[in-house]
Amino acid sequence: MRRAALTLLLASLGTTGAGQSVSDSPVALVDYGIFCPFEHTGESRPAPDTENGQVFLVDHAREVDIRGDTVPAILGFAFGIRYRLEPGVNLPPTRVIVTHPPLGAAGMTRQSWDFRPNPGDIAVSLFSFDMPYEMVPGDWSFLLTDGTRTYLERRFRVVPGDQMPWVFDLCQGPAPMS
């Protein structure tokens, strides 16, 4: 599994409601959904509260390819959130928490890692299906919290990959013109 926390400057979209930004939060949900397969840089940092003990960083310009909260469990695909911390706001140490149905030998249902977003920047947190045992259908969620306050929550529904075969076409892009 590869999760990422990265930053870049962009405009934000504030949202509120169940499963999105918390209404009085300084963190706004910018986008969410599916990330088509991509090459990881290989750069990582320790994350002992994850199934494989580390998070992998991805290109800071990575954007959501297909917006939505239904995700196919397909090897190589990823899903997650893009969010922005208001300029001038400093959060206490923050954790990204991903909850999911039991996976791996230990039946892990919660993984988390530390992340400190920079004020005004956009960050991305994602989960990619790198191993077959990670492709578990069911309810998944991403949560940003400092342990006492929830800043953002987004829920996803992971479904068997054969229920969304059209994502392959969208991820390959338009046919070349002759």
Q: What is the pLDDT of residues 35-44, one digit of tens each?
A: 999 877 778 8
Quick one: pLDDT at residue 61?
Answer: 65
Report the predicted TM-score, pTM, of the whole model to 2 decimal places.
Answer: 0.83
Pairing of strands 150-160, 138-145: antiparallel
pLDDT band at residue 59 under the 50/70/90 scheme: low
Quick one: pLDDT at residue 60?
Answer: 60
Q: What are the distances in angstroms from CA 40 to CA 9, 30, 43?
A: 21, 22, 8
Q: What structural domains and CATH numbers belong to the chain?
A: 2-172 (2.60.40.2390)
Quick one: pLDDT at residue 34?
Answer: 97
Q: What average pLDDT score do residues 86-93 get?
A: 90
- The pLDDT tens digits for 7-34 are 222 222 233 333 445 668 999 999 999 9
Q: What average pLDDT score do residues 119-135 get?
A: 92
Q: Chain-wide mean pLDDT for the chain?
A: 84
Quick one: pLDDT at residue 42?
Answer: 73
* Rounded distance between C-alpha atoms, residue 138 and residue 62, angstroms: 25
Nearest to 171 by CA among 15, 12, 13, 35: 35
Quick one: pLDDT at residue 6?
Answer: 33
Q: What average pLDDT score do residues 111-119 get?
A: 89
